[in-house]
């Protein structure tokens, strides 16, 4: 970083500070991960200098001899990894990727059906504050109050009543396996396009640790980071020519100009890594670790939405602990345990001060941690939350300081990928 330090020492030092923070923290936010040094290197290259509007072989700028090869490699690797016939690696992130699905298959005012945000869905699945909830007619499904799981009978009833043109399955806080075949059957019955948003679980699917939507969903959207351990980008996939052509046209020229070529290269690197046996073992360990952490938390009296997890994600309702999600997340962060406060189904509290915490195991698994470390993490979380609930600020500060020291000892034994 010598050149950056010379040009802008302030930003250089802030980047170094973030490197130290990431190395010293137990990252439990399920949408975060550590990329490899190879992915980092590909992201920070001269490819950022090049404009490439269009697609390989059909560009609006010259000088694409190398870029076309890079994008083609990324596409072919995505197709091979996920078993699809078509892939678009140009979307800038998950939300624009989902917007491209709307542009490809809907007109303003058409009905779209997705999981409600408070139940674990995503903003772009038709939530009210999103453009997707303002420009389209949203119908939302949720989960059963007694089980915390999606009621597929309710989904079917809503779909047949409202006849949406597009149905989303997937979301941001779903701790259980998504039943892609059931969603596909409902979509066919309702005459809807089925879009599987696998942003959170793409790495698990690639590694064989979660069922795939391929063969069930008409289109698939995903980010390329999270469990897939790539750069901050996105992909759209399809199995037939008709859907693929509509998606490509929606991405460019419908929503975007030139793709971010440095990101495309990094996506290609991440996809190559995800095709290896080591990644398959990683994906399985992510789920094993999540189950171990869920069991530890449950044994300590934490209420888990749906009773546990099938994937990388755990959603905790802190109501019984007498602590809200936001102060708990802030206290845990001070202790070196990075989480995010999150709404839980049927949450009586407001979204910016909800009842829950959302945690996951992708990052800690990338560092090589296993079940024993998950049990220790669960114990630390319990100590911090219990101390916070007692209402003695001084005593809570002591517990937080001690736990942070112990967390630092643990992270020193498990170097962070890409930072070591």
| 53 in active site | yes
Helix ranges, 250-370 (H): 261-274, 277-299, 325-334, 362-366
Strands 166-169 and 111-115: parallel
| 77 in active site | no
| 411 in active site | no
| 375 in active site | no
Report CA 143 to chain centroid distance, whole Å: 20
Which residues does 62 contact at the CB level (< 8 Å), separation at least 6?
none
The beta strand positions in 41-165, using DSSP E, are 54-55, 58-59, 86-88, 111-115, 137-141
Catalytic residue, candidates 156, 176, 226, 367: 226
> 241: which 2 tokens?
């020519």
- Could you give the count of Cα atoms lying within 13 Å of 416 in the half-sphere of its Cβ? 22
Catalytic residue, candidates 111, 165, 197, 309: 197
Strands 137-141 and 111-115: parallel
| 68 in active site | no
CA distance 356 to 122: 16
Neighbours of 3 (CB within 10 A): 8
Note every long-range contact of 155-159, with CB atoms under 8 Å and residues 24 or more positions apart, other chains counting: 155/113, 155/182, 155/183, 155/186, 156/186, 156/189, 158/113, 159/113, 159/186, 159/187, 159/189, 159/190, 159/192
Catalytic residue, candidates 222, 223, 339, 365: 223
Residue ranges of the binding site for (6S)-5,6,7,8-tetrahydrofolate = 117, 121-123
Strand arrangement, sheet containing 313-317: 303-304, 313-317, 356-360, 340-342
Residue ranges of the binding site = 117, 121-123
* Total residue length of the chain: 420
Which residues does 37 contact at the CB level (< 8 Å), separation at least 6?
417, 418
Catalytic residue, candidates 19, 41, 53, 333: 53
- The neighbouring-strand residues paired with 87 are 237
| 165 in active site | no
Q: How far, CA to CA in Å, does 86 sit from each of 89, 98, 236, 242, 358?
A: 10, 16, 8, 10, 33
CA distance 201 to 174: 10
Catalytic residues: 51, 53, 197, 223, 226, 232
């Amino acid at each position: 970083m010598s050149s950056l330090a010379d040009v802008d020492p302030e930003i250089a030092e802030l980047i170094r500070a973030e490197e130290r923070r990431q190395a010293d923290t137990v990252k439990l936010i399920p949408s975060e991960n550590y990329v490899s040094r190879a992915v980092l290197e590909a992201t920070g290259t001269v490819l950022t200098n090049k404009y490439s509007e269009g697609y390989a072989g059909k560009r609006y700028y010259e000088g694409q001899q190398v870029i076309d090869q890079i994008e083609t490699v990324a596409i072919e690797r995505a197709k091979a990894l996920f078993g699809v016939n078509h892939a678009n690696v140009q979307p800038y992130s998950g939300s624009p990727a989902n917007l491209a699905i709307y542009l490809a298959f809907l007109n303003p005012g058409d009905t779209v059906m997705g999981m409600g945000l408070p139940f674990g869905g995503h903003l772009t699945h038709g939530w009210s504050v999103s453009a997707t909830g303002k420009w389209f007619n949203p119908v939302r499904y949720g989960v059963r109050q007694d089980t915390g799981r999606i009621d597929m009978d309710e989904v079917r009833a809503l779909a047949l009543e409202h006849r949406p043109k597009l149905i989303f399955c997937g979301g941001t806080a779903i701790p259980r396996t998504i039943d892609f075949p059931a969603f596909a059957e409902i979509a066919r019955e309702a005459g809807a396009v089925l879009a599987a948003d696998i942003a959170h679980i793409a790495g698990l699917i690639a590694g064989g640790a979660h069922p795939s939507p391929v063969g069930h969903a008409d289109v698939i959207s995903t980010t390329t980071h999270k469990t897939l351990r790539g750069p901050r980008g996105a992909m759209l996939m399809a199995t037939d020519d008709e859907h693929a052509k509509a998606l490509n046209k929606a991405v460019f020229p419908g929503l975007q100009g030139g793709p971010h070529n440095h990101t495309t290269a990094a996506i290609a690197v991440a996809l190559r890594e995800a095709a290896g046996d080591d990644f398959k073992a990683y994906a399985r360990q992510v789920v094993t670790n999540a189950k171990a952490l869920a069991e530890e938390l449950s044994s300590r009296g934490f209420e888990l939405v749906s009773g546990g997890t099938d994937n990388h994600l755990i959603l905790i309702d802190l109501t019984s602990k007498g602590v809200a999600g936001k102060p708990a997340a802030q206290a845990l962060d001070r202790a070196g345990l990075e989480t995010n406060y999150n709404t839980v189904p049927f949450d009586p509290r407001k979204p910016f001060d909800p009842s829950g915490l959302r945690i996951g195991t992708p990052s800690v698994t990338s560092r090589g941690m296993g079940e024993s470390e998950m049990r220790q993490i669960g114990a630390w979380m319990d100590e911090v939350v219990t101390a916070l609930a007692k209402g003695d600020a001084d005593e809570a500060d002591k517990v937080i300081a001690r736990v942070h020291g112990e967390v630092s000892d643990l992270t020193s034994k498990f170097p962070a990928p890409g930072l070591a």
